[in-house]
Structure 1
Amino acid sequence: MRSKLLSLCVLILALLPQIAKADPADIDAAARGVVRVVIIGTDGREVYPVSHGTGFAVAPDMIVTNAHVVREALLDDTLTIAVVPSDGDKAEYVRPISVDPRSDLALLRITGEMRLPALTIAGSADPDSGEVSAVGYPMNVDRAQGLDIGDIFRPQPPVKSRGFISGARPSRQFDSILHTAPIARGNSGGPLLDGCGRVIGVNSFGADSEAGDAEFYFAVSTRELLPFLRKNNVDATVNASPCRSLAELDASERERMLREQSEARQAMAARADEQRQARDRARLEAEFAVLGERENSMALAFLLFLLAGGAGAVAWHARQNEEERRMMIGGTLAGLALLSSLLLWFLRPGVEEIDRRVAAATQGGDGSSGSTDPDAADGGTMLCSFVESRSRVTGARTDDVEFAWQDSGCVNERTQYGVVAGEWSRVLVPDDEEAVSINRYDPATRTFSTDRYLLSRSAMSAAREARDKYSPPQCGADNAAASLGDMQTGVTSLLPPRPNERLVYQCEAKPADSQAIKPLASPAG
């Protein structure tokens, strides 16, 4: 009895709505573009940190932080500002581009060669609820870790904390988001992220906590951030797509496949029923026609046989009376009638003619059973449109793509796709982006998809090393698809279990008379 009650409780809990949680992989991906913002002083012999906060990249060389983080450096020309990334490079100096004390926002430009992965900004309205993550460099953590002055200038991973949105409200003359993700001194200027790692605010300050009151924190809303960036001509990546987990997407895909399979079975059963009814109708019509033709042939043969007998009797009588002309006419007529009668009898339709006519009627009479689409087998030139309902996008562009597919796995007559276990794919490891992409194409369903893995600098270095170990075979080379499929496993084995983004496109054969589209992103890469 107890086990039954326990099972029932587990079932009920499983059916209850689940609270959406942030995906750690997305938060980690966003953290790649988070930096420590350090105000630097000097005594003439060495430099030292005066204070620090947090910032994040909105473009490869542009950093957003709070105005109050850099205020001291703006008022004292002996102080400079530097940013320290979370991974890889050393600190770089920055210079202020724009500071807005009213909204507590500042924009900084990196003066050196450092380039960072830009974070995506949520384009939808400020949420009223849901889980959020704060990312930054709180000073109390630095003290707890015993970090000294030199450690401040060494790349360190930022601290991530979780909480929930408590509401949106105006504060200090700017729109802000109230949340419970713990922040401290040093977090100022860091991003507040949604479950997909998109920026929904810039952490600014916390509420005083007295007598055990709950602690709340404020972030500058994107309603302030986006106009600030537009004013300064920053083309930030903005994404307003719903934030869904890959688990939800996979579950939706399974439901879609089951639904399509069920619909296909129903359609197949309906077609089978239609074909059965068509065969039954064709058989009745064939039986009626064949039996009618048989009876007509037999009746005519009998009449001709009688005519032959009558003509033969006339010829016999004429011979007895030595009427040679009548005998010739009667004999000839009797022979022709008898021969025609025999031909009609032996050439009358047989019962097997029924089956032949039924087969001809149900197959369309031309024996054709293949597809009428000339591009169905090899795909031809495809025009692929983005399907938002089947995708998870946090920052990637979703332009339609066009490519010419061949059944050998060759794209645009120059880029070979690899094949493993019947799946066509091409792995892309760019030198100018901290992301690995896997493009896939399914000729059977005409579905093109891209899985994007947003990796750390060290993980990207390992992926580039693995990619440099092979050269993809050219289109048309012997065993090109299978060879490339094996080569690419060196990169795919280094990737996380799940991608950060998945873009799904539905492709259709492009009309021959349509104008060419030049997409910004090509599946061939």
Structure 2
Amino acid sequence: MFRLLRPLLALCSLALLAAPARADQQDIAAAARGVVRVVLVATDGGDAYFVGHGSGLAVAPDKVLTNAHVVELTRSEKNLVIGVIPSEGRKSYGGRVVAYSPGNDLALIQLEEGSLPVSTFYAGALGDGQSVTAIGYPGTVDRAQGLSLQQMIEPMGTVKTNGTVSSGRSTRSFDTILHTAPLAAGNSGGPLVDECGRVLGVNSFGSVSDGNDAEFGFAVSWREISSFLRQAGVSATHTIVPCRSMAEAEAAAAALDQGDRDRTEQSERAHAEQQRDAMQKARDQAERDIIAARENFMAGSAALLALAVLGIGAGGLFYTQGKEKQAIWWLGGGGALLLGALLLFLLRPGFSDLEARIDAPIDTGSTSNNAYAWAGDNVCRIDLNRSRVTVSQPIDRPFNWQDGGCVNRDTQFLSEGSRWRRTLAPNDANFVAEQIFDPASGQLVVRRWLPDPDTMAKARALVEKAQVKGCFADADKRTVLATLESDLRALLNGPPNERLVHRCQKGRLTVDE
């Protein structure tokens, strides 16, 4: 029965590998943290009146991108103020328009204070029918919930709607992305993101439906956005690495690792066979050398024996003739030659010392990285085939390694078996990163989580309390660092958003890199 099921199971496995897995929803949640509500409020003395609102996304910690039509009234109505309301946290911020482009419906708002999680754009080609999500603050939802002005100017979660890209159509005035994710008034200025949470465009407007037709949305494309931000002096974070799920990345890495192991095994088998052949040739040569040496010894022994017979015969002849002195010399010489012949015969090489005579071939196999001197400057180059990249720039990184786990002269790693590990929660970034270095393979893996603000604050508090900066060999400090590592990993529920795999080698990054 099992033999009959085996082909079916194999086909099912292939189908699962071939089918694209959906990206993790936590990436969409992470992308939503950079989305804000942009509120216009009119002031009249001590009174404030709600005028309207839209959505926006952070393109720098202190700058928000939105639609020009969202803030259009502020150009003519001087009593209007702009409020920027994050999706998470407890504070709201004021802002002012610093760049305005009605031609492609884009505007840039400068925060008066505060800092926001920055969005990452996808600058690659879009696929027809690919899944997208619109994130923002549709007014229909606000009205359905009966939100007051006070509630609308407090941090509140975003609304997400799903659809697909319908490529091939754009507006005539500027470049847009046509999609089917439902939009409503208030979504304007919010991002349209892919399954990895990267921003594809900024939602601008939707088609009008009488209730019978399908509705479509139009988002300002990256081409328009990049030009606008460049002119405004903003360098937006962007990537061209296609989106894939963590499961896809891990499956691809496992397949590549298996291929590497198979090639290594084949290489080792071929090398072992070469070594066996070389050893056999060395053994054959040693046997031929022994046979040749034995023949030489035997020939020498026979020659000495012949001369010894002649010498002894001559000595006997001289003795019979009464020439005792000559007889002694010849008999002595013949005896010495006889002794030499016997010694040559007895000392002829035997096959018992064959192993000692084998000239073993030198092993020319490649040396393992287990013995590689990583100390000093290294370059760790990202391996996109084994990585899952969402919001980070896929760049190579310098990696100065010192014995004892000191990295880049300022970060202490801890040894865990054959690998070294360190988890970081930077104050100037909204992620927690776990770095794992394996000296045996020269592989550096960086796993990044994009947690919510509360978790990020807890992680930073743990780091601040531990006070384990720099590199050190002190056992007490390493104990504190080990406790910090354990506490940080306990905060990180679920899989990481990113898995960046690097291959390290000796060298230094150049200025161009």
Q: TM-score, normalised by structure 2?
A: 0.89
1:268 is aligned to: 268
Distance 2:399 2:9 in 1: 52
SS across alignment from 1:192: strand
Contact 2:413 2:420 in 1 (8 A): yes
2:457 is aligned to: 461
2:400 is the alignment partner of 1:399: no
1:493 is aligned to: 490
1:430 is aligned to: 426
2:34 is aligned to: 33
SS across alignment from 2:486: helix
2:121 is the alignment partner of 1:118: no
Shift of 1:77: 0.6
SS across alignment from 1:170: coil
1:131 is aligned to: 131
2:353 is aligned to: 353
2:501 is aligned to: 504
Distance 1:314 1:9 in 2: 96
Unaligned stretches of 5+ in structure 1? 511-515
> 82-91 vs 13-22, which deviates more?
13-22
Distance 1:286 1:152 in 2: 93
What is the 5 A alignment of 1:207-286? 207-286=207-286
Shift of 1:503: 2.2
The C-alpha deviation readout for 1:290-331, integer Å capped at 9, x for no partner, is 112112212312332343343234345445555354245324
1:57 is aligned to: 58
Shift of 1:168: 4.5
What is the 5 A alignment of 1:114-193? 114-171=114-171, 173-193=173-193
Q: What amino acid is the match of 1:214?
A: A
1:385 is aligned to: 381
Root mean square deviation, CA, Å = 3.1
Shift of 1:352: 2.5
2:101 is aligned to: 100
SS across alignment from 2:491: coil
Distance 2:317 2:111 in 1: 127
SS across alignment from 1:87: coil
Q: What amino acid is the match of 1:94?
A: G
1:200 is aligned to: 200
The C-alpha deviation readout for 1:105-159, integer Å capped at 9, x for no partner, is 11110012x1112111111234433000111111222233332221112111211
Number of equivalences = 507
Contact 2:418 2:440 in 1 (8 A): no
1:24 is aligned to: 25
Shift of 1:38: 0.5
2:440 is aligned to: 444
SS across alignment from 1:169: coil
Shift of 1:412: 4.5
SS across alignment from 2:330: helix
Residues 336, 82 of structure 1: alpha-carbon distance in 2 compared, 3 angstrom cutoff: farther
Unaligned stretches of 5+ in structure 2? none
Distance 1:349 1:357 in 2: 11
Q: TM-score, normalised by structure 1?
A: 0.87
> 378-387 vs 280-289, which deviates more?
378-387
Residues 182, 73 of structure 1: alpha-carbon distance in 2 compared, 3 angstrom cutoff: same
Distance 1:495 1:226 in 2: 34
Distance 1:405 1:86 in 2: 41
Distance 2:101 2:90 in 1: 29
The C-alpha deviation readout for 1:457-509, integer Å capped at 9, x for no partner, is 11111112233343368444459878855641221221243222222222222
The C-alpha deviation readout for 1:439-466, integer Å capped at 9, x for no partner, is 2222122122222222221111111223
Residues 220, 65 of structure 1: alpha-carbon distance in 2 compared, 3 angstrom cutoff: same
